[in-house]
Chains A and B, each alone.
Chain A
Amino acid sequence: MRPVDFRQVADVYECTNAPVTRHRLNHHAFRSYSLSLARLIRALGELAADEIWRSILSPLRRYGYSVCSAPVPFNEPVIRPDLDQLNRRKDKLTFVYPAEAIQLGVVLDHLTVLVDCADSPYAQWLSDSVRQHGTDGALLLRNTKLFGAVERHLFKFPYTKQLTLLSSSQLTRDNVFGTIYVVGAAKWFPPYVFEAPRARQIHIACYSWITDSPQKPRSFVAAAVPSTELDPDEETADETFDAGDLLPVVDWNSIRQHASSPETSNQLDSVEAMLALLESDAAVFLEASPGSTVLALDLDADDPKERLDRIDVKDVRIGTYLLLRTTGGGDYVVAEADKHFLKDQAEHLRAAQRHWKTLLLEEVKRTSPLHVSLRLLDLGSSRADEVNVRNYISARSIRTREPEDFAAIMRLVGLGDRADEYWDMMGQIDRAHRLAGFRIRRQLIRQLEHLDLNQLERTGKLDITLPDLEGGALTAFRVVDVSPEVHTISGYRVGHPFEV
């Protein structure tokens, strides 16, 4: 059992009302770039959402966000956009959007200057601040993808190389720092960073032209003690860029289309799924039907057995850690079941499984799911409906819950006299799947005892290799966002992360 350190908790309470000091930084070339990009986006209006402009604006915004959200130099190779490609795209737009293309040219001119500039205003500010406030500090970043680049860069400075890099989720623990340095706008971070601070003082730095109206404090309507409130920025007559507009926009439609394929049109194997955006520019579809579950990690649990849990998909939310298969095709439970439990029976049993499902699919194609469900009811099934018929066809289901439903299917597809034989064969597969699931779970639990989960909490992603699992690499991802809509997708897409 992990002890709960009372001293640490007492320290957290002492950090209430920790002073938050804002620092405004300037950089002429970056300001010119940011504001010219803001002007271009304003000028484009709704056009900015068009695919052709989006493909140009996305890398430009991403670069701006990267240097606004992490202490890296402007010429950091990891964030450098492909200038040649952007210029080619600009040239193609010259005839169709001449005015906008000129504005884009201005942005690209500023960008050309920046990507050769080794300045790093944030790093300089950090170095000066740490020298002044002491080294008992941590650096909070929103952009966890740049942790590696930031570490490399800050290591060059004597005062900043000892800074601990943090993501917001690490600030839910009871570790308290002397000073937390925050890079970027306050509104980019969860409110608890300031409402339940884990430091005796907070210094936050942002570029001067970025307006950062703080998030509305979250409190009770009749609270006896008011919540912490950050002062808003002073109003300025200069041109500004709202911090909210700098954040990468989650384009759910684009992600969904990116993941779509011709198979999506196969209505028979379609499922309702929710789309979760994951750390490291990945996304995954999770089946949204009632009772659907997904493997998740609970970093708060102190027993490795309790860390691993199947949770309802409806309970997946921002900050949940999902465990997903990232190498090898298909379902790893199937591969494990065949290799370790069905062994030389696997081929025969899988062929039988494919056989009755193919016959049923043909029947559905010949008529309709509704017609098949009605026929099954006539033949003795009590649970056949359109949804269940789709489930029966799906490769992810093995057999029906009740034998009479299965017998009805067998009668419908002409295998009525072998119904018992098929029921038993599918039972063998079902048992093998359960055993394979337990086997994988045991291996995972063993691995979890040795893994550095702080790394997962810090970066939001951790690869887990199971040595005994055929082609078995799993990855734990932190959920960054969840699509507000449910999508209809091909069943085989469920649970497989893809790049966005």
Chain B
Amino acid sequence: MNERVAKSLDLHYRDGDEWRPIPHWAKFLISLGASVASAEGDTRRIVVAVSVPSPCYAASFIALGRILAEPIVEPDPAAYTSHFEFLAALPARSPLIYFRRAELVHGPFLGTDSNNGEDGIWMVYQKPKQPPGKCFIPKRWSLRVELEPDHKGPAPRTGAGRLRKPKPFVERFFTREEHYRILCNTTKPVTVIGDTNRFRAETVVTPFAVPADERWIEGSLQDLIRVSKFAAGAIGCRSEILAKGRDPALEAAGAHTAGSLVILDGASAAIRRLHQYNNPNLVAVLQRTEPEYLAAVDLLNARYINRADDFEVKASVSPSPAISIMAHTEVRS
């Protein structure tokens, strides 16, 4: 099992004044999300139907498992090129932040140049009790640089800063290098379609903790799954939530890549949106209390009957008796 996924199984939730281990069903859902990530193929996509007794937390935990199992890739060239062009246009001496060798350093922008045939920017950096240094940052690393968010100079204001030191909670799951790579991330491998408010309550408001040296390190699922709607800016996010109803962004649903996972959170989301996604892997979470549950079960059963093949969910945690699942593969369109 992926080390980060294994660590997430040690999450605890708050029950009054105590922290308690997350229940078995939550661990299963995390491992289910992780198993879909590790089983992806090029020609076939995976469709998993999950039936749960409560609408809450199922999609969040599946998304968590998927994201923690996901390799952290280098940013997309188009994204760093665009960011490089923004930096290159800054006035000289604009104050910058740069993630350098697992720490953040600050200093003024000097200008752009080419070094060994590679474009990049020059900046001066200042470390405490050390003389100032000068460094060349290649263009492909430019997302590791940003303008100081609260600068007073003539350069455009960029809002809240993106490059921040990781919270202790995040450091339990990611190394600093991984963390900054995530902050430069431009792809969102997970899209959840469902109830935005509930998802926010689950991922942003609900506290979780991990044990460390006889103390608790507290955080939220948002610290790990980084939903763009609940964060400032689009870069550095790893998932998105779309309202199941009238979100115009859904019109671009066909653009999802083969590597991404779409989670349809709820029977009504499944009924309305299942037909829109024929390329990415898909998990439909159906809540047995929903009026449209039966119609959604019928829809998923019909997809199963027309399957390319069965898919065995190799979750590292045994299924919970409260959850029933059905999985198959389909040929990607």
Residues of A within 8 A of B (CB): 1-4, 6-7, 9-10, 12-17, 171-172, 174, 191-192, 195-197, 218-227, 300-303, 306, 317-319
Q: A-B pairs with the 9 shortest C-beta distances?
A: A196-B53, A220-B326, A16-B322, A172-B289, A196-B288, A225-B324, A223-B324, A12-B54, A4-B201
Residues of A within 8 A of B326 (CB): 220-224
Given A219-B297, A219-B324, A317-B292, A1–B197 Cβ distance below 8 Å?
yes
Residues of B within 8 A of A318 (CB): 291
**B57 near A9 (CB under 8 angstroms)?**
yes
Q: In the complex the two chains form, what is the Cα distance from A10 to B297 in whole Å? A: 24
Q: In the complex the two chains form, what is the Cα distance from A220 to B304 in whole Å? A: 9
**B304 near A221 (CB under 8 angstroms)?**
yes
Q: Is B198 in contact with chain A by the CB < 8 A criterion?
A: yes
Q: How large is the interface on B (under 10, 10 to 19, 20 to 34, 35 or more residues)?
A: 35 or more
Residues of B within 8 A of A (CB): 13-16, 23, 25-26, 49, 51, 53-54, 56-57, 195, 197-198, 200-202, 205-206, 287-294, 297, 300-301, 304-305, 310, 313, 319-326, 328
**A221 near B301 (CB under 8 angstroms)?**
yes
The distance from the CB of B47 to the nearest CB of chain A, in whole angstroms, is 12
The distance from the CB of B254 to the nearest CB of chain A, in whole angstroms, is 23
**B54 near A9 (CB under 8 angstroms)?**
yes
The distance from the CB of B28 to the nearest CB of chain A, in whole angstroms, is 10
Residues of B within 8 A of A10 (CB): 13, 23, 26
Q: In the complex the two chains form, what is the Cα distance from A196 to B54 in whole Å? A: 8
**B205 near A225 (CB under 8 angstroms)?**
no
**A6 near B57 (CB under 8 angstroms)?**
yes
Q: In the complex the two chains form, what is the Cα distance from A226 to B197 in whole Å? A: 31
A sample of 30 cross-chain residue pairs with beta-carbon separation below 8 angstroms, ordered by A number, consists of: A3-B205, A4-B202, A4-B206, A6-B13, A6-B14, A6-B206, A9-B56, A12-B53, A12-B54, A13-B23, A13-B25, A13-B54, A13-B320, A192-B289, A196-B287, A196-B289, A218-B293, A219-B297, A220-B300, A220-B326, A221-B304, A223-B51, A223-B324, A225-B319, A225-B321, A225-B323, A226-B324, A303-B197, A317-B291, A319-B291
Given A219-B297, A224-B324, A225-B325, A1–B201 Cβ distance below 8 Å?
yes
Q: In the complex the two chains form, what is the Cα distance from A218 to B287 in whole Å? A: 12
The distance from the CB of B287 to the nearest CB of chain A, in whole angstroms, is 8
Residue of A nearest to B24 (CB): A13
The distance from the CB of A16 to the nearest CB of chain B, in whole angstroms, is 4
Q: In the complex the two chains form, what is the Cα distance from A318 to B322 in whole Å? A: 26
Q: In the complex the two chains form, what is the Cα distance from A197 to B323 in whole Å? A: 13
Residue of A nearest to B320 (CB): A13
Residue of A nearest to B291 (CB): A319
**B13 near A220 (CB under 8 angstroms)?**
no
**A220 near B53 (CB under 8 angstroms)?**
no
**B325 near A224 (CB under 8 angstroms)?**
yes
Q: In the complex the two chains form, what is the Cα distance from A32 to B292 in whole Å? A: 40
Residues of A within 8 A of B195 (CB): 300
Q: In the complex the two chains form, what is the Cα distance from A195 to B260 in whole Å? A: 32
Q: In the complex the two chains form, what is the Cα distance from A218 to B326 in whole Å? A: 13
**B53 near A222 (CB under 8 angstroms)?**
no
A-B contacts besides A9-B54, A17-B321, 11 pairs, CB < 8 Å: A1-B201, A4-B202, A7-B16, A10-B13, A13-B322, A192-B289, A221-B305, A222-B310, A225-B321, A225-B323, A303-B197
**A4 near B324 (CB under 8 angstroms)?**
no
Residues of B within 8 A of A9 (CB): 54, 56-57
Residue of A nearest to B292 (CB): A317
The distance from the CB of B326 to the nearest CB of chain A, in whole angstroms, is 4
Residue of A nearest to B207 (CB): A6
Residues of B within 8 A of A16 (CB): 53, 320-322
The distance from the CB of B58 to the nearest CB of chain A, in whole angstroms, is 9
Residues of A within 8 A of B328 (CB): 222
Q: In the complex the two chains form, what is the Cα distance from A14 to B20 in whole Å? A: 15
Q: In the complex the two chains form, what is the Cα distance from A220 to B300 in whole Å? A: 8
The distance from the CB of B4 to the nearest CB of chain A, in whole angstroms, is 21
Q: Which residue from A1, A195, A306 sits with its C-beta under 8 Å from B288?
A: A195
Residues of A within 8 A of B320 (CB): 13, 16, 225
Q: In the complex the two chains form, what is the Cα distance from A259 to B201 in whole Å? A: 45
Residues of A within 8 A of B319 (CB): 224-225
The distance from the CB of A218 to the nearest CB of chain B, in whole angstroms, is 5
Residue of A nearest to B49 (CB): A220
Q: In the complex the two chains form, what is the Cα distance from A172 to B51 in whole Å? A: 14
Q: In the complex the two chains form, what is the Cα distance from A227 to B57 in whole Å? A: 20
The distance from the CB of A22 to the nearest CB of chain B, in whole angstroms, is 21
Q: In the complex the two chains form, what is the Cα distance from A221 to B206 in whole Å? A: 35
Residue of A nearest to B200 (CB): A1
Residue of A nearest to B300 (CB): A220
Residue of B nearest to A318 (CB): B291
**A302 near B197 (CB under 8 angstroms)?**
yes
Residue of A nearest to B293 (CB): A218
Q: Which residue from B16, B205, B292 sits with its C-beta under 8 Å from A1?
A: B205
**B324 near A13 (CB under 8 angstroms)?**
no
The distance from the CB of B45 to the nearest CB of chain A, in whole angstroms, is 18
Q: In the complex the two chains form, what is the Cα distance from A227 to B288 in whole Å? A: 10
Chain B CB within 10 Å — which of A4, A12, A222, A224 has the most? A4
**B14 near A220 (CB under 8 angstroms)?**
no
Q: Which residue from B201, B202, B304 sits with its C-beta under 8 Å from A222?
A: B304
Residue of A nearest to B58 (CB): A9
Residues of B within 8 A of A7 (CB): 13, 15-16
**A301 near B197 (CB under 8 angstroms)?**
yes
The distance from the CB of B182 to the nearest CB of chain A, in whole angstroms, is 25
Q: In the complex the two chains form, what is the Cα distance from A223 to B328 in whole Å? A: 11
Q: Which residue from B51, B56, B202, B325 sits with its C-beta under 8 Å from A174?
A: B56
The distance from the CB of B248 to the nearest CB of chain A, in whole angstroms, is 16
Residues of A within 8 A of B26 (CB): 10
Q: In the complex the two chains form, what is the Cα distance from A306 to B205 in whole Å? A: 19
Given A13-B25, A223-B51, A317-B291, A3–B206 Cβ distance below 8 Å?
yes
Q: In the complex the two chains form, what is the Cα distance from A303 to B198 in whole Å? A: 11
The distance from the CB of A186 to the nearest CB of chain B, in whole angstroms, is 15
Residues of B within 8 A of A195 (CB): 53, 288
Residues of A within 8 A of B57 (CB): 4, 6, 9
Given A220-B301, A220-B326, A192–B56 Cβ distance below 8 Å?
no
Q: In the complex the two chains form, what is the Cα distance from A10 to B287 in whole Å? A: 15
Residues of B within 8 A of A172 (CB): 289-290
Residues of B within 8 A of A222 (CB): 304, 310, 326, 328
Residue of A nearest to B313 (CB): A224
Residue of A nearest to B54 (CB): A12
Q: In the complex the two chains form, what is the Cα distance from A160 to B324 in whole Å? A: 36
The distance from the CB of B290 to the nearest CB of chain A, in whole angstroms, is 8
Residues of A within 8 A of B51 (CB): 219-220, 223, 227
**B294 near A218 (CB under 8 angstroms)?**
yes
The distance from the CB of A235 to the nearest CB of chain B, in whole angstroms, is 28
The distance from the CB of A480 to the nearest CB of chain B, in whole angstroms, is 12
The distance from the CB of B43 to the nearest CB of chain A, in whole angstroms, is 22
Residue of A nearest to B15 (CB): A7
Residues of B within 8 A of A220 (CB): 49, 51, 297, 300-301, 304, 324-326
The distance from the CB of A249 to the nearest CB of chain B, in whole angstroms, is 21
Residues of A within 8 A of B201 (CB): 1-4
